[in-house]
Structure 1
Amino acid sequence: MARQSQIQIFFVSLAESAISFYFLPRVFPTTTLAGTFLIFLLINWSFYFVYLLIIYPFFLSPFRHLPKPGGSYGPIIAHGPIMFSQPPGSAFLRMMKEVPNDGIIHYRSFFHEDRLLLTEPAQIGDVLVHKSYDFEKSPWIRTFLRQFLGDGLLMTEGDEHKHQRKQIMPAFSFRHIKELYPVFWSKSVELCGAIKAELLEKKDGVIELNHFSTQVTMDIIGLAGLGRDIGSLRNADDELIKNYEEILEPTAEKGIYFVLHLMFPLRLIKMLPWKLNERVKITTKSLKRICREFVQEKKARMKMQSEEQIDILSILLRSNAFSDDGLVDQLLTFLAAGHETTSSAFTWASHLLALNPDVQKRLRAEIHENIALPRDISSEKIDIAGLLESLPYLNAVCNETLRLYPTIPVSSRVATRDTSICGQYVPAGTLSFIVPWAINRNPRLWGEDAEKFRPERWIDPGTGRANYIGSADSNYSFLTFLHGPRSCIGEKFARAELRALVAVFCGSFEMQMADPNKMVKPGGTITSKPIGGMWLRLHPVAW
């Protein structure tokens, strides 16, 4: 819309200058047509900016009567800086608490652009489910992420997204996830073995868990996604891990890099003499090369193997729906999203258990009571999937962790056409924010203790069984995996993986924060990671 308006201003100014120069020379007595054109261009741009900054937002916007937050940062800036609050989503949560509303809060961003914050299940359901293809991911977010994820499932929209999701869905069916539980369990056991070996070399029992968490989830997505044991737990210098840790490490510099993509075109940012540009180029090139090698290696192995493989890449290859470049893009997406989501959730689960020893003790008792041995039990013909899914407190702890620390704390959608949200007219180009961090912690949806870690909210007090909407009244009150056609396709995979990791880890170690007085702060640009890592003091326990 803005680009179209700029083109219109150019041609209107050209027409005005020609009419004035040839037919009204005394009105604008300039000696050249170019001079007249520049005068009209300046006048028209001035009127356009007044219209954009004052007339439209304050007198014509269809949202001007909606509830708004107070405390603007000032003219032009307005409430734009709340996007960069830390932890990500915290400013939106404050807004939800402080501004009385019926599901939509309107605020003005930089240059007084309209922004909508969705706060209630009905409005969220309209955008994510009922009119999901009226709203797409923000173009600048897609441009930023495409550098790292290619044109995989997360980046596509419309019919292309429908096609890709249909082809990929069989790899994430309930039956297929159940077959992968032994992989999740055996790698969880291997993780604890690697940590115990690390502890033997330390006198204080302190480790940084986030690195181990990244390694084990990368190994799991390697086996479950590629049918290949990457073995990063056995190789501290693994190239894949190093690349992703460099990309995802939460730093101020990466935050600035992310913000600049919001404000300026990608090609302009790439022209800057910035070392980070070179590092992004190197790491993304390396990741694409590794994924291409994985695809070629898998195709060669499938020709030699008669037994049908159950990993995700094998399923995609058998579908014949993707070119080699398309498979590389899907792998970039699954490797990043598949390991980072659960890695983050597992790290935050350990943090919450370390801060809540009573919860930790109760969970460990449930695990030890129901699971006899920590070693790989798949060989003992035990239904590990059914067993883990049946443990109410384990599932409650996992659900409560996912509620309080959603991996993607802030998401947004832009209207692709004139549409509406629960009867409120929304013109094309309007940006709406759906904020899992804020919705998952909103006291209106979860009660006064919404920001407290209370796994019991996920257990039915009458039956003692798991309750899958917690203490809320709607499943739209829990947005960690979003909902609808654009919901996380790997939700069941991530939940199953997290169950196994938390069960084995809590059953193997008693955990405390290395520094009980240090506040662990979430950070990051797209995902939520602990700034400075997650330092725990661990004590092995008898199983």
Structure 2
Amino acid sequence: MLGALLLFSLLLPLLFIFFKSKSKSDAKSAPKSYPIIGTYLSVYANRHRLNEWTSDAVHNSPTLTFLVRRPFGQTRVITGNPSVVQHILKTNFSTYGKGMFRSTLLDLLGDGIFNVDGDEWKFQRQLSSHEFNTKSLRHFVEHVVDSELNERLIPILTTAAANDTVLDLQDILQRFAFDNICKIAFGHDPAYLTPSLPQAKFAVAFDDAVRISSERFRVSTPLLWKIKRFLNMGSEKRLKEAVSEVREFAKKILDEKKQELSDKSSIQSVDLLSRFISSGHSDDNFVTDIVISFILAGRDTTSAALTWFFWLLYKNPAVESEIVKEINGKSDSAVYDDVKEMVYTHASLCESMRFYPPIPVDTKTAVADDILPEGTVVKKGMVVTYHPYAMGRSEKLWGGDWMEFRPERWFEKEEGTDDVRFKARDPYTYPVFQAGPRICLGKDMAFLQMKRVVAGVLRQFKVVPVDDGREPVFVAALTSKMIGGFPVKIKERK
């Protein structure tokens, strides 16, 4: 069996070459499917742009839903249909669990909140929710984010502006978000955003672990990466090493927190990690999984959103001018209340994430047979993927001007006046923060952090891409990235 699978994996590219000239379907047709290998040829031909290819296929479907038939009869549903998204995330929530997502990411995320269902998920969510009340959010903005901004980020940008040096803003924002999530969730300051920009072993390992884990979703059959893992070879060998380094870092944070909680003379912090330890869960592996999940959420999503936001602002100077005008109407410190009231900036961030959602696709697995609202029959064990990236670029959902970066689309006139107010889209048309029972707990925290960063940076600086704004290459791992980073120069705002 093992030999047959290895032989098949070697023959697949040859099959692609053989059938390529016979399957010249245009870009607007459904992916061509063949016996045994399914739609593998289309997948292989687009292997370097799978996110864009699946997005195009969603747009070209009358129902915004299509099927990918993988080798050996596996079928996956990919959708950008809001009624389907509502069905799997809310209406029929109990039918769609982590399934394939869990098994694929188990080595990295273990039993953390993003990789479990049922009572285990409910417990972690309930305990985590205390971290996101108004008091915690105010403290987060006025103390954690503000100190990281004023004591670390702004000085680094000031030095770069004075010396006309190039910074990788993607890396800078990841460091900023990493320090923040560690402080607020674990009471730990890794001091990753310092003038020397230290190359932390953990950060390299974490990036490798996320990248390789996400690549597992792209192989023609999960058996291939499982064989590599069993043989401890290639990327799977590196993943094992990287996960070990990540868990070692998380375990160090856990041990420090346990020591703090056992030291009666110390001033004990009340953070997410303290709550989990105090809840009676003494299993180190379980709590370590929680630490890793929150690092992934707090470090990668907000930094990805801000990275693409600053690029889009450079491409849309009129929007940047409006944001700066709004910022200058607030106090220099732009504390909690001021940040909350930055509605044009809020709309601009929503518009940016419409184009570049931090999590471009998400996947569920059916635990029972079902029928989707637009008629697709789903069998138990089938994977259903919803596609925020495709949805944000759909003319059917956003109109003929979908390609325009226009924050004004997020406002509506108040009845009987000329005043406008922010109007959120329903979360099933705009599932950037998921929706239904699993809607992102950190949504408000993410917006507050992003708006505080935008206010602090744009009040003083202009961010200028060194490649004159040519669109960076988008890569969809577990979160959105720019290949090669985001090199920029920082200019003092006159």
Q: TM-score, normalising length from structure 2?
A: 0.84
Q: Aligned pair in 2 of structure 1 residues 256, 267: CA closer, same or farther (>3 Å)?
A: closer
Q: How far does residue 152 in structure 1 lie from its aligned partner after superposition?
A: 0.6
1:499 partner SS: helix
Cα RMSD (Å): 2.8
Contact 1:87 1:521 (8 Å CA) reproduced = no
Task: Say whether 1:121 aligns with 2:77.
Answer: no
Q: Which residue of 2 aligns with 1:186?
A: 147
What is the rounded CA distance, in whole Å, between the counterparts of 1:305 and 1:350 in structure 2?
45
1:359 partner SS: helix
Q: Which residue of 2 aligns with 1:417?
A: 368
Q: Aligned pair in 2 of structure 1 residues 116, 279: CA closer, same or farther (>3 Å)?
A: closer
Contact 1:410 1:433 (8 Å CA) reproduced = yes
Q: 1:430-463, CA deviations, whole angstroms, 9 ceiling, x for partnerless residues?
A: 2212111111221111111223321111223443
Task: Say whether 1:507 aligns with 2:469.
Answer: no
Q: Aligned pair in 2 of structure 1 residues 110, 453: CA closer, same or farther (>3 Å)?
A: farther
Q: Aligned pair in 2 of structure 1 residues 208, 199: CA closer, same or farther (>3 Å)?
A: same
What is the rounded CA distance, in whole Å, between the counterparts of 2:265 and 2:157 in structure 1?
35
Q: 1:320-362, CA deviations, whole angstroms, 9 ceiling, x for partnerless residues?
A: 3453322111001111221111111111111111211221122
Q: Which residue of 2 aligns with 1:465?
A: 421
Q: 1:67-97, CA deviations, whole angstroms, 9 ceiling, x for partnerless residues?
A: x953516554443444965555322332232
Q: Aligned pair in 2 of structure 1 residues 98, 260: CA closer, same or farther (>3 Å)?
A: closer
Task: Say whether 1:290 aligns with 2:249.
Answer: yes
Task: Say whether 1:276 aligns with 2:276.
Answer: no
Q: Which residue of 2 aligns with 1:479?
A: 431
Task: Say whether 1:197 aligns with 2:159.
Answer: yes
Q: Structure 1 unaligned runs (5+)? A: 1-5, 7-67
Q: Which residue of 2 aligns with 1:389?
A: 340
Q: Aligned pair in 2 of structure 1 residues 79, 223: CA closer, same or farther (>3 Å)?
A: same
Q: Which residue of 2 aligns with 1:92?
A: 54
Q: Aligned pair in 2 of structure 1 residues 107, 456: CA closer, same or farther (>3 Å)?
A: same
Task: Say whether 1:136 aligns with 2:97.
Answer: yes
Q: How far does residue 184 in structure 1 lie from its aligned partner after superposition?
A: 1.7
Q: Aligned pair in 2 of structure 1 residues 388, 297: CA closer, same or farther (>3 Å)?
A: same
Q: How far does residue 109 in structure 1 lie from its aligned partner after superposition?
A: 3.5
Q: 1:76-129, CA deviations, whole angstroms, 9 ceiling, x for partnerless residues?
A: 44434449655553223322322222x643453334543323332222111101
What is the rounded CA distance, in whole Å, between the counterparts of 2:115 and 2:215 in structure 1?
22
Q: How far does residue 428 in structure 1 lie from its aligned partner after superposition?
A: 0.9
Contact 2:216 2:222 (8 Å CA) reproduced = no
Contact 1:88 1:410 (8 Å CA) reproduced = no
Q: What is the one-letter code of the residue matched to 2:443?
A: E
Q: Which residue of 1 aligns with 2:188?
A: 228
2:167 partner SS: strand
The equivalent position to 1:161 in structure 2, one of 121, 137, 141, is 121
Contact 2:461 2:490 (8 Å CA) reproduced = yes
Q: How far does residue 131 in structure 1 lie from its aligned partner after superposition?
A: 1.3
Contact 2:465 2:488 (8 Å CA) reproduced = yes
Q: Which residue of 2 aligns with 1:429?
A: 381
Q: 1:33-68, CA deviations, whole angstroms, 9 ceiling, x for partnerless residues?
A: xxxxxxxxxxxxxxxxxxxxxxxxxxxxxxxxxxx9
- Aligned runs of 1:98-117 on 2, under 5 Å? 98-101=60-63, 104-117=65-78
Query: Comparing 450-459 with 111-120, which one deviates more in the overlay?
Result: 111-120
Q: What is the one-letter code of the residue matched to 1:427?
A: K
- Aligned residue pair count: 456
Q: How far does residue 391 in structure 1 lie from its aligned partner after superposition?
A: 1.2
What is the rounded CA distance, in whole Å, between the counterparts of 2:440 and 2:291 in structure 1?
16
Q: TM-score, normalising length from structure 1?
A: 0.77
What is the rounded CA distance, in whole Å, between the counterparts of 2:291 and 2:213 in structure 1?
24
Q: What is the one-letter code of the residue matched to 1:464?
A: V
What is the rounded CA distance, in whole Å, between the counterparts of 1:254 and 1:160 in structure 2?
23
Query: Comparing 220-229 with 321-330, which one deviates more in the overlay?
Result: 321-330
Task: Say whether 1:528 aligns with 2:489.
Answer: no
What is the rounded CA distance, in whole Å, between the counterparts of 2:432 and 2:48 in structure 1?
18
**Percent identity between the two aligned chains:** 24
